[in-house]
Structure 1
């Protein structure tokens, strides 16, 4: 159960969405038949140890609705209120997503990251509004709206979710508590626009670290997530704290120290046609102490050339990746 009532969601978000949130990707057992509970609990503990404020329970993998509910429940149980568990609302249909968000709410998630299915192809923003409003109305949980080019809405407007649509959703859905500002990427205009228009009403998350670190030094940004920052281990939460303390020179120094790892991150195939390579993200996190281990097929793959580059990028940035051989990633730290 969430720690707030629906009509208190925005006040809860303003108080609790403070910090950086990463992504936890579910690990399967070695026979791929069930979830590896020990591995999931390990990743939650590592997330907490690294100083993150929350973690997305990733659903963009080959997982059944029952397994996803179990995965969310394990995360919430292990977190025990120490971090916020975020439900990833990207299933096949609106009906599936309504069922999934109800399951996630019962399992202990406290925030919804609202996305859109691959076969949702709206002809107007009225359809986008109706879909989003229906999902928000179906849950008592706080919802983070997510403008993003991957949804395919750029054909309707370059910002992906334009200001008039966001205005309606903020006005009509009291449990819309945040906007994850990735609209119009790689440009930052949409992120600046939503901050200017809505930061007094809802939390604005700037999840891309190379945008967050400089922008947060000139405008107030209280939340950075959900994102790939497990690749940097505990560093981005540390930078967040420096920025909150006004120690901008130290935060900027860290920005430059991360540059070798950042350049490698952007040089390998992180995503293709709107779907993130979760195996890649899992390996990047494994280098920093997370579990690694199997994902069920169908899934993307990771190759030696990419693993070598990512490891060297972390080494060059002083991030001290694990000395375990890459073959150990495919087994995981807590094999079952």
Structure 2
């Protein structure tokens, strides 16, 4: 069931539907980067469904033009066909662009939208942050996800990284269905749950937090993330681990958690250092997905480079989970679909 069109129904709808793990879905490009590889994007939607994710989140920050970002979410929503919730990010160069994109996301069938702020956005006060956010919340009839993060440079308003009073007031808005707390300070995470969970679904996306957040605070969804590093479609280990926690099977869940250790340690070593950079190593996360059946393929510049030792470490981690990864890294750099079609950029 798609997101309801009446704002008063959004919060109950989310509490019913948003239960489980949400992955990230990245754009795939043609081998020469001249445009989107639609077949590769559709492949990754199918993979997301096979993995058992409840929702997939379109990463619009990975080298897309504004028009391509619009087309990207349109392809994903069409491919999903209601079989998986579709979310996207509004974090473009201006607030006006964010508003325009949110209207488009609703039009093409996105269910959820994560609220972000332009890199150049430098509000004079917390009240300005609240006003700008409200402008975005009124742009579309979707379920909105608030995203407190250090990356916005709001620490001058709050030592925690995002003003909690503003966050709590925004969480009461009828179109806000969730809060993705991406701040690593435990006290801030605790405050998010204590102050906002009555009004919206609060979550932190790190698998090591799930036993505490689910059993003590009632977290019922997690993401988005490149969680494919933890599982394969045939053995959805992370999805099962989270489901066991939701079902009150704590002993079984903790057994599952410790089995994830090789992938957890690799993920924390490679991914977590990018937390404070304001962006992420998109190809690295696409590589995780390629190892378990995703399309793969590099993203456009500006972009971080993959190093062979990183790829070898990731491959070893999934092998330790009992997953047999592919061994042709050349295919990853081109993307499965383009590689199978004989396309070579060099």
Task: Give the TM-score band, short-chain normalised.
Answer: over 0.9
In structure 2, the residue matched to 1:207 is 205
Counterpart CA distance in 2 for 1:153 and 1:79 is: 35
Counterpart CA distance in 2 for 1:105 and 1:178 is: 17
State the 1:4 CA deviation. Answer: 3.4
In structure 1, the residue matched to 2:325 is 322
> Which range moves more in the overlay, 231-240 or 142-151?
231-240
Question: Closer, same or farther in 2 for the Cα pair 1:155/1:315, shift >3 Å?
Answer: farther
- Decide whether the 8 Å contact of 2:230 with 2:264 is kept in 1: no
In structure 2, the residue matched to 1:182 is 182
Task: Choose from 296, 302, 305 the match for 1:298.
Answer: 302
Counterpart CA distance in 2 for 1:192 and 1:220 is: 12
CA deviations over 1:232-262 (Å, ceiling 9, x no partner): 1322211121112211111111211111221
Counterpart CA distance in 2 for 1:14 and 1:269 is: 29
Give the total of aligned pairs. 332
In structure 1, the residue matched to 2:286 is 282
Q: Which runs of 4+ in 1 moved over 3 A?
A: 1-4
- Decide whether the 8 Å contact of 2:230 with 2:238 is kept in 1: yes
Q: Is 1:331 aligned to 2:329, yes or no? A: no
Counterpart CA distance in 2 for 1:206 and 1:293 is: 28
* Structure 2 alignment gaps of length 5 or more: 342-346
State the 1:66 CA deviation. Answer: 1.8
SS state of the match for residue 284, structure 1? Answer: helix
- Decide whether the 8 Å contact of 2:154 with 2:162 is kept in 1: yes
- Decide whether the 8 Å contact of 2:73 with 2:110 is kept in 1: yes
Taking the TM superposition and a 5 Å limit, the aligned residue runs for 1:195-274 are 195-233=193-231, 234-268=236-270, 271=274, 273-274=277-278
SS state of the match for residue 306, structure 1? Answer: helix
State the 1:32 CA deviation. Answer: 1.1
State the 1:319 CA deviation. Answer: 4.4
Question: Closer, same or farther in 2 for the Cα pair 1:154/1:235, shift >3 Å?
Answer: farther
> Which range moves more in the overlay, 234-243 or 45-54?
234-243
State the 1:138 CA deviation. Answer: 1.5
Taking the TM superposition and a 5 Å limit, the aligned residue runs for 1:1-336 are 2-171=3-172, 173-183=173-183, 185=184, 187-233=185-231, 234-268=236-270, 271=274, 273-316=277-320, 318-335=321-338
State the 1:321 CA deviation. Answer: 4.2
State the 1:294 CA deviation. Answer: 3.2
Question: Closer, same or farther in 2 for the Cα pair 1:130/1:321, shift >3 Å?
Answer: farther
Counterpart CA distance in 2 for 1:311 and 1:116 is: 35
Question: Closer, same or farther in 2 for the Cα pair 1:200/1:319, shift >3 Å?
Answer: farther
* Structure 1 alignment gaps of length 5 or more: none
> Which range moves more in the overlay, 78-87 or 294-303?
294-303
- TM-score (structure 2 length as normaliser): 0.91
Counterpart CA distance in 2 for 1:14 and 1:319 is: 34
Counterpart CA distance in 1 for 2:133 and 2:319 is: 42
- Decide whether the 8 Å contact of 1:27 with 1:293 is kept in 2: yes
SS state of the match for residue 20, structure 1? Answer: strand
RMSD of Structure 2 on Structure 1 (CA): 1.7
